[in-house]
C-alpha cells in the first residue's frame, strides 16, 4: 500500500478511474428477470452541444440517481445519446461552408447531407466525451442518435400510424420568411429587435352608412369622399391591408359593440370586411379596432382560423405585391407602403401617423426584416393525444417534482394547439410523403410558397396525389404514374425526441430491453422543455406504448450567474464546467452544483463556491489518511481483523460512549440521506453528509479516537474498527454525489483493511456496486447521543472561556465540574482523559452540583442567578483564580425539560377543554357542521402534538 500524499489531486485519479469503471463494464445494465430495473433516459444534448453548467447540473442529478439505485441493487440503466438538432446543426455546417465561400445550395441536398454526417462523425461526440468527464455512468454501449437507423424507423412508423388514424394533416401556417435569403426561418433564427417605426391610422368606411361603397365591387375607382361614418384602425404595415379580410374589436368595447356583425369597406380594394369580436384585441391600444390580415400576421392568422376568414396572400417570395389591384402589382413591400400612404391620404382614408417603437423579427443572417407568410405545412392533431396524457398526470401515474409544475403542464395540455411538424431545412428526417405530379397537377401542392390559399385547420381526407408511405412507392396508386416526388421538408427535431424513451430501447421492434426497461422511472430536465419535450413524450408514450414513458419528472432550476442572469456566451458570464473540473476537480463541481440548488430553485453560481467542494474532497482524503495510519498502527491491516463483509458491527459491550455516539449519528445520517434522495432533495443529502463527516466525524470522533487509542489496547482496536466502519459507510453514502474521490479512498480503505469483497463472485470490487448502506436501528442510541452532547457542551464552554481569557495551550488549568445528574457525573469521571485532552486541561474533578455556586474570587460570575436550584457549572483555575462558567449544554437539559413540561401541561388542559365541548350534546347538535369538524380536527392535531412532546419529555426524564 502506497502512502497517500497529503493533498488530494483529482487530476491524478479521475480520468483513469473513469476508464477503469468503463472497462470493468460497471456502467452496463442487462435486461433480465433477476433484478428490478431502474431506468433513466438522458435528455439528449444537441450534437452541436458544448458542455455548459446546465448540462453539468442536469447530468449530475441523473448520475446521482442512477448510482444510488445501482448500489441499492437495481438493474440501473442510463441510456445516453444525442439529438440531431436540425436547424442548429445545419447552421454549424453552413457556417463552415461559408468559410469556403459556398452555400448549401451550391452543394445540393445530397452532398450537403453527406457533409453534415461527416461533421457529425468528426465532432458530434464532443458533448459525450464531456459528459464522461463529469463522471456520468451511462451505459455507453447503448448510445443512440436521433437519426440512427432504428430511431428513423421509429419516426416513420409513428408518422404512418398517426396518418392512418387521421391525426396528421396538411394545412397552412404562418412562418417567418426572409425575402432576401428566400428561406423560412425558425423563431430563434429571426430574433426580434427593437425598431423605430410608425403607426398609421387608416379609416375604413362602414357599409350602408352613405359612403360610396355599397357592397362588394360596387365602387370603382375608390371614392375620394369617404363618409364620416368609418372605423379607424392602426397598423405598422399598411401594405398588408390589401390582404385584409376582417376588422376585429373587443367584444366588450362600448365604442364598437353596435358594429359587431356589420361590415366595413376596405379602401382601395373595396372588399367587404366583417366586423368581428375577439378577446385577443386590446381595447387600450391604438383605436381599439384591428385590421385582420390572416395570411400575413401570426395573430391575425389565429383569428382567421377561429373566425373562418378568407386568407389572401398578397406577396410573392421576394416580398413584392401580388393578388392586388393593378396599380400595386409587383411593387416592393416598402414602395407599396409609400404609395398606399399617398393614395390613402388623397382618398381621405388616412388618419394620424404616430411614431411607434416595436419589436420586429430580423433575419439572423442578413438582417432583413422578416415577413410573416402563409405556407403549406404538416400538422399533428394533438387533442386526442393529449387526453390520456392529461389523465395520467391527474391520476398521479406521472408526478412532477416540484409539484407546482403539474399545474403548468395541465394548463398547457388543456389548451393544446396542433403541432406543426414540417421544417423547411435539409438536415433531419424527411417526411415519408410523396406527391404524384400527375394527380397533384394544378393543386399547387408540389410547389411551396406560391401563394397557397388553403387555410385547412382540421384533418382532411387524403388528397389526391399525396401518398404517405414507408418508402418511395413505385407508382401512384390513383393514376399509375411513376413520376413521384418526396416532400422536400424534414420533420421537427422534437418529432424524433418525443419517442426517445422507447425508441432508444428498440421500438418498434419488440426487444428484451423494451420489455425490461420500459416504462422508465425518472426524467430529469429543465423547465424550458416541459412543453416541447416532456409533454410530448407522455403523449407519444401513450400513443405508441399505451403506457407512460416515465413515472416521475424532476424539474431542476436554471443555472444563472451571481447576478441572476442566465449564463450565455453573448453575456460573457459563462463559467465553463471543464475549467472548474480542471481547477477544482469533478467531485467539487458536482458537490457545489448540487448543494447550490434547493429543489427546483434556480442555481446562482460564482466561481468561489467550488472551493468548498474541493476542500471537502480534501478533508475526506486526509480523514482517510488518518484512519489508514491508525489501522496500520493497530495491526488492523492485511485483513482478518474485520471478519464479515460489508463491515461487522464491533461488539457492543466494548463500545465507549463516543463510539456509540458516532455510530448512532451514522444511522441517523443514513436515514436522512435516504429520505432526502427519495424526495429529490439532493442538496440536503449532500449537506447532511458534509455536516456529519466534517463536524461529527472529523472534528469530534477523530479527535476522540486519538485519545482512546492511547487508553489501552482494547479501546484502540475498537476505536479503529469504528473509524473504519463509519468512514467506509459514509464513503458509500457519498459516492453518488462525489464518485471519484469516494472510489479512490474506498479502494485504499478496503484493501488496507481487507473487509470488502465483491458481493457477487467475480464481480469487480468497486464502490459503484457496493451495497447501499441501510440504517441499523439497534445502533441508534439516544442515551449515548445525549451524554456525548454533554461532553461537547463542557468542552466548548471551557474552550470559549480559555479563548476569552487568553489562556495559552501550554498552561493546563485544573477544572472542577459540577453536574446535577448522576449519569452525567459518572460519564465524566469515566472519560476524564477525554476532557483533559479535548479542552487542554490539567486535573479534572467531578462533583455534584451545589445549591449556589461559590462566588469568592470569581472573575466571571454566571449571569443566571436562580438561587436555590442546583447549578451545573464548571470552575477552572487560571493563575490561581477560580473562574466559573455556566454549562450551557447541561443547564439546557433542565431548561428544556421544564419548557416541555409546561407545553405538555398547556396542551393537556386545552385538550380536555375541547373534549368536554365535543361531549356536550348541545354543542354537537346546535353548532354548524363545519365548526364541529374543525373542532374535531383541532382535537386530533393537538393530540398528535402532545404525543410528540410527551415522548420527547419521557426520553429526557429517563436519563
Partner RNA sequence: GGGCGAUUAGCUCAGCUGGUUAGAGCGCAUGCCUCACAUGCAUGAGGUCACAGGUUCGAGUCCUGUAUCGCCCACCA
| Positions in 492-551 near RNA (CB under 7 A) | 527-528
User: Under DSSP, is residue 380 helix (H, G, I), strand (E, B) or coil?
Assistant: strand
Identified binder of RNA from the candidate list 326, 608, 810, 930, rule CB under 7 A: 608
Taking residues 364 to 403 in sequence order and writing x for each that binds RNA by CB under 7 A, - otherwise, the string is: ----------------------------------------
Stretch that binds RNA, among 219-227, 340-348, 432-440, 620-628 (CB under 7 A): 620-628
Stretch that binds RNA, among 97-105, 304-312, 440-448, 559-567 (CB under 7 A): 559-567
> Are 223 and 265 a contacting pair, CB within 8 Å?
no
Min dist CB 3 to RNA, Å, is 11
Count of residues in contact with RNA, rule CB under 7 A: 89
Residue number, 703 or 783, with CB nearest to RNA: 703
Min dist CB 608 to RNA, Å, is 5
User: Under DSSP, is residue 506 helix (H, G, I), strand (E, B) or coil?
Assistant: coil
Stretch that binds RNA, among 92-100, 133-141, 306-314, 899-907 (CB under 7 A): 899-907
Min dist CB 627 to RNA, Å, is 8
| Positions in 329-358 near RNA (CB under 7 A) | 356, 358
281 binds RNA (CB under 7 A): yes
Residue number, 762 or 808, with CB nearest to RNA: 808
User: What are the distances in angstroms from CA 497 to CA 25, 145, 300, 414, 501?
Assistant: 27, 10, 31, 22, 8
Instruction: Classify each residue of 702-727 as buried b or exposed e, where b means 16 or more C-beta atoms within 10 Å of its C-beta.
Output: bebbebbbeeeeebbbbbbbbbbbbb
User: What are the distances in angstroms from CA 855 to CA 181, 471, 881?
Assistant: 94, 100, 11
Min dist CB 833 to RNA, Å, is 15
E-assigned strand segments in 841-947: 844-848, 873-878, 881-886
Min dist CB 286 to RNA, Å, is 4
Residue number, 183 or 302, with CB nearest to RNA: 302
Q: Phi and psi dihedrals of 178, rounded to 5? A: -95, 115
Identified binder of RNA from the candidate list 314, 623, 704, 835, rule CB under 7 A: 623
User: What are the distances in angstroms from CA 863 to CA 90, 114, 816, 880, 884?
Assistant: 76, 84, 19, 22, 11
| Positions in 838-897 near RNA (CB under 7 A) | 888-889, 892, 895-896
Q: Which of 740, 727, 736 is nearest to 646 (CA)?
A: 727
Taking residues 409 to 448 in sequence order and writing x for each that binds RNA by CB under 7 A, - otherwise, the string is: --x-------------------------------------
| Positions in 582-601 near RNA (CB under 7 A) | 596-599, 601
796 binds RNA (CB under 7 A): yes
> Are 156 and 147 a contacting pair, CB within 8 Å?
no
Residue number, 51 or 840, with CB nearest to RNA: 840
Cell numbers describing residue 329: 402589382
Cell numbers describing residue 803: 479563548
Stretch that binds RNA, among 40-48, 284-292, 328-336, 643-651 (CB under 7 A): 284-292
Min dist CB 379 to RNA, Å, is 17
702 binds RNA (CB under 7 A): yes
Taking residues 628 to 647 in sequence order and writing x for each that binds RNA by CB under 7 A, - otherwise, the string is: -x------------------
117 binds RNA (CB under 7 A): no
| Positions in 191-210 near RNA (CB under 7 A) | 199
What's the CA gap between 280 and 174, in Å, rounded?
18
Taking residues 910 to 929 in sequence order and writing x for each that binds RNA by CB under 7 A, - otherwise, the string is: x-------------------
Cell numbers describing residue 397: 401515474
- Would you call the peptide bond into 221 cis, given omega within 30 degrees of 0 as the criterion? yes
User: Under DSSP, is residue 315 helix (H, G, I), strand (E, B) or coil?
Assistant: strand
Torsion of CA 740, 746, 747, 750, to 10 degrees: -170
Identified binder of RNA from the candidate list 614, 721, 732, 871, rule CB under 7 A: 614
Min dist CB 606 to RNA, Å, is 7
Q: Phi and psi dihedrals of 321, rounded to 5? A: -75, 140
Residue 367 has a CB neighbour count (10 Å cut-off) of: 10
> Are 736 and 767 a contacting pair, CB within 8 Å?
no
Stretch that binds RNA, among 47-55, 641-649, 677-685, 774-782 (CB under 7 A): 677-685
Residue number, 635 or 913, with CB nearest to RNA: 913
Identified binder of RNA from the candidate list 493, 497, 525, 683, rule CB under 7 A: 683
Residue number, 395 or 608, with CB nearest to RNA: 608
Instruction: Classify each residue of 856-871 as buried b or exposed e, where b means 16 or more C-beta atoms within 10 Å of its C-beta.
Output: eeeebebeeeeeeebb
> Are 312 and 324 a contacting pair, CB within 8 Å?
no
- Would you call the peptide bond into 508 cis, given omega within 30 degrees of 0 as the criterion? yes
Q: Phi and psi dihedrals of 233, rounded to 5? A: -120, 170
Min dist CB 722 to RNA, Å, is 15
Residue number, 405 or 435, with CB nearest to RNA: 405
What DSSP string describes 572-607?
T----HHHHHHHH-HHHHHHHHHHT--TT--EEE-T
Residue number, 142 or 802, with CB nearest to RNA: 802
The sign one gets for the Cα dihedral 785, 791, 795, 800 is positive
| Positions in 213-242 near RNA (CB under 7 A) | 233-237
Identified binder of RNA from the candidate list 60, 375, 525, 558, rule CB under 7 A: 558
Identified binder of RNA from the candidate list 479, 611, 759, 848, rule CB under 7 A: 611
| Positions in 76-115 near RNA (CB under 7 A) | none
Min dist CB 906 to RNA, Å, is 6
Residue number, 469 or 687, with CB nearest to RNA: 687
Min dist CB 633 to RNA, Å, is 10
Cell numbers describing residue 5: 500524499
Min dist CB 878 to RNA, Å, is 15
Min dist CB 516 to RNA, Å, is 33
Residue number, 220 or 811, with CB nearest to RNA: 811
Q: Residues near 625 by Cβ (< 8 Å), separated by ≥ 6?
A: 4, 6
Residue 761 has a CB neighbour count (10 Å cut-off) of: 6
Identified binder of RNA from the candidate list 165, 485, 679, 936, rule CB under 7 A: 679
User: What are the distances in angstroms from CA 64 to CA 232, 463, 784, 872?
Assistant: 62, 52, 33, 47
User: What are the distances in angstroms from CA 415 to CA 165, 387, 390, 418, 501?
Assistant: 22, 11, 11, 10, 25
Residue number, 643 or 678, with CB nearest to RNA: 678
Residue 739 CA from chain centroid, whole number = 21
What's the CA gap between 217 and 214, in Å, rounded?
8
| Positions in 285-324 near RNA (CB under 7 A) | 285-286, 288, 290-291, 297-300, 302
Min dist CB 296 to RNA, Å, is 9
809 binds RNA (CB under 7 A): yes
Identified binder of RNA from the candidate list 15, 153, 607, 703, rule CB under 7 A: 703
Identified binder of RNA from the candidate list 255, 257, 472, 565, rule CB under 7 A: 565
Min dist CB 417 to RNA, Å, is 10
Instruction: Classify each residue of 5-22 as buried b or exposed e, where b means 16 or more C-beta atoms within 10 Å of its C-beta.
Output: eeebebeebbeebbeebb
| Positions in 1-40 near RNA (CB under 7 A) | 6-9
609 binds RNA (CB under 7 A): yes
What H or E segment, with its residue span, contains residue 169?
Answer: strand 168-178
Amino acid at each position: 500500500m502506497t502512502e497517500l500524499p497529503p493533498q488530494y489531486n483529482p487530476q491524478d485519479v479521475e480520468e483513469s478511474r473513469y476508464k477503469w469503471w468503463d472497462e470493468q463494464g460497471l456502467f452496463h445494465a442487462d435486461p433480465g428477470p433477476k433484478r428490478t430495473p431502474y431506468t433513466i433516459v438522458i435528455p439528449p444534448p444537441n450534437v452541436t452541444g458544448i458542455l455548459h453548467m446546465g448540462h453539468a447540473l442536469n447530468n449530475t442529478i441523473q448520475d446521482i440517481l442512477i448510482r444510488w439505485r445501482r448500489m441499492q441493487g437495481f438493474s440501473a440503466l442510463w441510456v445516453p445519446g444525442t439529438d440531431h438538432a436540425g436547424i442548429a446543426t445545419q447552421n454549424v455546417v453552413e457556417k463552415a461552408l461559408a468559410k469556403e465561400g459556398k452555400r448549401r445550395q451550391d452543394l445540393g441536398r445530397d452532398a450537403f447531407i453527406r457533409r453534415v454526417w461527416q461533421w457529425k462523425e468528426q465532432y458530434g461526440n464532443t458533448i459525450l466525451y464531456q459528459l464522461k468527464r463529469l463522471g456520468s455512468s451511462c451505459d455507453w454501449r447503448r448510445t443512440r442518435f436521433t437519426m440512427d437507423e432504428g430511431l428513423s424507423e421509429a419516426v416513420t412508423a409513428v408518422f404512418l400510424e398517426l396518418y392512418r388514424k387521421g391525426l396528421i394533416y396538411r394545412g397552412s401556417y404562418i412562418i417567418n420568411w426572409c425575402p432576401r435569403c428566400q428561406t423560412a426561418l425558425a423563431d430563434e433564427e429571426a430574433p426580434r429587435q427593437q425598431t423605430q417605426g410608425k403607426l398609421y391610422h387608416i379609416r375604413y368606411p362602414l357599409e350602408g352608412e352613405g359612403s360610396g361603397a355599397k357592397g362588394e365591387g360596387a365602387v370603382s375607382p375608390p371614392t375620394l369622399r369617404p363618409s364620416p361614418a368609418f372605423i379607424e384602425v392602426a397598423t405598422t404595415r399598411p401594405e398588408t391591408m390589401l390582404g385584409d379580410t376582417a376588422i376585429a374589436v373587443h367584444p366588450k368595447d362600448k365604442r364598437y359593440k353596435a358594429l359587431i356583425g356589420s361590415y366595413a369597406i376596405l379602401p382601395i380594394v373595396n372588399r367587404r370586411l366583417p366586423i368581428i369580436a375577439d378577446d385577443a384585441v386590446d381595447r387600450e391600444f391604438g383605436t381599439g379596432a384591428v385590421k385582420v390580415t390572416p395570411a400575413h400576421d401570426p395573430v391575425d392568422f389565429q383569428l382567421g382560423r377561429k373566425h373562418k376568414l378568407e386568407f389572401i396572400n398578397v406577396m410573392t417570395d421576394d416580398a413584392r405585391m401580388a393578388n392586388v389591384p393593378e396599380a400595386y402589382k409587383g411593387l416592393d413591400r416598402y414602395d407599396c407602403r409609400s404609395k398606399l400612404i399617398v393614395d390613402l391620404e388623397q382618398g381621405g382614408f388616412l388618419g394620424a401617423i404616430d411614431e411607434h417603437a416595436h419589436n420586429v423579427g430580423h433575419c439572423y443572417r442578413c438582417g432583413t426584416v422578416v415577413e410573416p407568410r402563409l405556407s403549406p405545412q404538416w400538422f399533428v392533431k394533438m387533442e386526442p393525444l393529449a387526453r390520456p396524457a392529461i389523465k395520467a398526470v391527474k391520476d398521479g401515474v406521472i408526478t412532477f417534482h416540484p409539484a407546482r409544475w403539474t399545474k403548468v403542464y395541465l394548463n398547457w395540455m388543456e389548451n393544446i394547439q396542433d403541432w406543426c411538424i414540417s421544417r423547411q431545412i435539409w438536415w433531419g428526417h424527411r417526411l415519408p410523403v410523396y406527391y404524384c405530379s400527375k394527380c397533384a397537377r394544378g393543386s399547387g401542392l408540389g410547389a411551396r410558397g406560391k401563394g397557397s390559399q388553403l387555410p385547412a385547420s382540421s384533418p382532411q381526407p387524403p388528397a389526391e396525389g399525396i401518398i404517405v408511405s414507408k418508402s418511395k412507392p413505385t407508382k401512384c396508386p390513383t393514376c399509375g404514374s411513376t413520376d413521384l416526388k418526396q416532400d422536400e421538408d424534414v420533420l421537427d427535431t422534437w418529432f424524433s425526441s418525443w419517442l426517445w424513451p422507447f425508441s432508444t430501447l428498440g421500438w418498434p421492434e419488440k426487444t428484451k430491453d423494451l420489455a425490461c426497461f420500459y416504462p422508465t422511472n425518472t426524467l430529469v430536465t429543465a423547465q424550458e422543455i416541459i412543453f416541447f419535450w416532456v409533454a410530448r413524450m407522455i403523449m407519444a408514450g401513450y400513443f405508441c406504448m399505451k403506457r407512460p414513458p416515465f413515472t416521475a419528472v424532476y424539474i431542476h432550476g436554471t443555472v444563472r450567474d451571481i447576478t441572476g442572469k442566465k449564463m450565455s456566451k453573448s453575456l460573457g458570464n459563462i463559467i465553463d464546467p471543464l475549467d472548474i473540473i480542471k481547477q477544482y476537480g469533478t467531485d467539487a463541481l458536482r458537490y457545489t452544483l448540487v448543494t447550490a440548488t434547493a429543489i427546483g430553485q434556480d442555481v446562482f453560481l460564482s466561481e468561489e463556491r467550488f472551493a468548498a467542494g474541493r476542500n471537502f474532497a480534501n478533508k475526506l482524503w486526509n480523514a482517510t489518511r488518518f484512519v489508514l495510519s491508525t489501522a496500520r498502527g493497530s495491526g488492523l491491516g492485511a485483513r482478518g481483523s474485520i471478519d464479515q463483509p460489508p463491515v461487522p458491527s464491533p461488539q457492543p459491550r466494548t463500545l465507549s460512549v463516543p463510539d456509540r455516539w458516532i455510530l448512532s449519528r451514522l444511522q441517523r445520517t443514513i436515514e436522512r440521506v435516504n429520505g432526502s434522495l427519495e424526495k429529490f432533495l439532493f442538496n440536503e443529502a449532500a449537506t447532511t453528509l458534509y455536516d456529519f463527516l466534517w463536524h461529527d466525524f472529523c472534528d469530534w470522533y477523530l479527535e476522540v479516537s486519538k485519545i482512546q487509542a492511547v487508553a489501552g489496547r482494547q479501546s484502540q482496536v475498537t476505536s479503529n474498527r469504528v473509524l473504519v466502519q463509519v468512514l467506509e459507510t459514509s464513503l458509500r453514502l457519498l459516492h453518488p454525489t462525489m464518485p471519484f474521490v469516494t472510489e479512490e479512498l474506498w479502494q485504499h480503505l478496503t484493501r488496507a483493511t481487507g473487509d470488502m469483497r465483491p458481493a457477487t463472485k467475480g464481480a469487480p470490487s468497486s464502490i459503484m456496486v457496493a451495497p447501499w448502506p441501510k440504517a441499523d436501528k439497534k445502533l441508534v442510541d439516544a442515551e449515548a447521543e445525549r451524554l456525548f452532547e454533554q461532553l461537547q457542551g463542557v468542552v466548548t464552554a471551557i474552550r470559549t472561556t480559555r479563548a476569552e481569557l487568553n489562556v495559552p495551550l501550554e498552561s493546563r488549568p485544573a477544572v472542577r465540574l459540577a453536574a446535577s445528574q448522576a449519569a452525567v457525573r459518572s460519564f465524566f469521571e469515566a472519560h476524564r482523559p477525554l476532557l483533559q485532552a479535548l479542552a487542554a486541561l490539567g486535573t479534572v474533578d467531578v462533583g455534584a452540583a451545589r445549591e449556589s455556586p461559590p462566588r469568592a474570587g470569581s472573575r466571571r460570575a454566571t449571569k443566571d442567578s436562580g438561587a436555590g436550584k442546583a447549578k451545573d457549572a464548571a470552575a477552572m483555575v487560571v493563575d490561581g483564580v477560580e473562574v466559573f462558567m455556566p454549562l450551557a449544554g447541561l443547564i439546557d437539559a433542565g431548561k428544556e425539560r421544564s419548557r416541555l413540561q409546561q407545553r405538555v401541561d398547556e396542551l393537556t388542559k386545552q385538550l380536555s377543554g375541547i373534549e368536554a365541548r365535543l361531549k356536550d350534546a348541545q354543542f354537537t347538535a346546535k353548532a354548524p357542521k363545519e365548526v364541529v369538524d374543525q373542532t374535531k380536527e383541532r382535537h386530533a392535531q393537538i393530540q398528535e402534538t402532545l404525543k410528540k412532546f410527551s415522548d420527547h419529555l419521557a426520553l429526557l426524564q429517563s436519563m
